[in-house]
């Protein structure tokens, strides 16, 4: 996540469109949001990090395992980032009954957490002009707290449906998994 102004979709007053300030010098760098979603509990949580790395993935996996201390098997869906496939993470996962399930390359539509990132972007990044990463992270965590308290809110559900449709349309796949037929 970079610190830059973001547009919001909507109607502007006639003759007075919303303007975004220019960002000629981006001195803040970027952060990476490491998001986790519990399907059974319908909870979304995550942390912002300055860089990607094995230690951050490992910390996330340990927090997931700690959330379920009964020792029951846990299935974790991950993308194909190389740090997720490190031998230390794989051996830790085997010892702690954590099954790592990797999504195919270029198949974000197959990852169920992707539908939750659309509302996160819509409610925290769209229409924003955060001054630094601390402000952006606070807005992100405020949304996560609100979302977990209001997981069935109509606005959240509608944003998730739009994101699912957007992700599937990238691969031209219908809701049932059938490819779209070519236009006649």
Residue 105, domain member (yes or no): yes
The whole model's pTM is what?
0.67
The Cα 178–Cα 142 span in angstroms is 37
Residue 181, domain member (yes or no): no
pLDDT of residue 173: 53
Strand partners, 35: 46
**pLDDT per residue over 55-75, tens digit each?**
888 888 888 888 888 888 988
95: domain CATH number is 3.30.420.10
Question: CB under 8 Å to 117, separation ≥6 — which residues?
Answer: 35, 163
Q: Is the pLDDT of residue 21 over 70?
A: no
The Cα 101–Cα 89 span in angstroms is 13
Which runs of E-coded beta strand occur in the chain? Answer: 32-38, 43-49, 74-78, 98-102
What total of structural domains would you count in the chain? 1
What is the phi/psi pair of residue 61, to 5°? -65, -40
Residue 44, domain member (yes or no): yes
pLDDT of residue 10: 43
The Cα 58–Cα 95 span in angstroms is 13
pLDDT of residue 90: 92
What average pLDDT score do residues 149-176 get?
73
Domain extent at residue 160: 32-170
Residue 180, domain member (yes or no): no
Residue 2, domain member (yes or no): no
Q: Any idea how long the chain is?
A: 184
Residue 177, domain member (yes or no): no
DSSP 82: G
The angle formed by the CA atoms of residues 98, 101 and 105, to the nearest 5 degrees, is: 155
Residue 9, domain member (yes or no): no
What average pLDDT score do residues 83-92 get?
89
pLDDT of residue 184: 44
The Cα 7–Cα 20 span in angstroms is 7
**pLDDT per residue over 107-157, tens digit each?**
766 777 777 777 787 777 776 777 787 888 888 889 889 888 887 888 878
**pLDDT per residue over 27-60, tens digit each?**
677 778 888 888 778 888 888 887 778 888 888 8
Question: CB under 8 Å to 114, separation ≥6 — which residues?
Answer: 108, 163, 164, 167
The Cα 129–Cα 135 span in angstroms is 10
pLDDT of residue 7: 58
pLDDT of residue 13: 54
Residue 118, domain member (yes or no): yes
């Amino acid at each position: 996540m970079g610190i830059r102004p973001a547009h919001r979709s909507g109607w502007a007053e006639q003759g007075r469109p919303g303007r975004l300030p220019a960002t000629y010098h981006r001195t803040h760098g970027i952060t990476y949001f490491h998001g986790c979603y519990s399907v059974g509990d319908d909870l979304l949580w995550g942390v912002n990090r300055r860089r990607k790395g094995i230690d951050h993935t490992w910390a996330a996996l340990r927090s997931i395992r700690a959330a379920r201390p009964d020792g029951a098997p846990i299935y974790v869906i991950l993308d194909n980032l190389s740090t997720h496939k490190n031998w230390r993470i794989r051996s830790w996962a085997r010892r702690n009954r954590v099954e790592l399930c990797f999504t195919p390359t270029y198949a974000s539509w197959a990852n169920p957490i992707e539908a939750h990132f659309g509302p996160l972007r819509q409610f925290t990044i769209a229409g924003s002009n955060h001054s630094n990463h601390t402000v952006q992270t606070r807005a992100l965590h405020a949304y996560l707290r609100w979302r977990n308290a209001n997981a069935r809110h109509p606005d959240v559900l509608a944003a998730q449906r739009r994101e699912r449709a957007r992700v599937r349309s990238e691969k031209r796949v219908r809701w049932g998994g059938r490819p779209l037929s070519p236009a006649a």
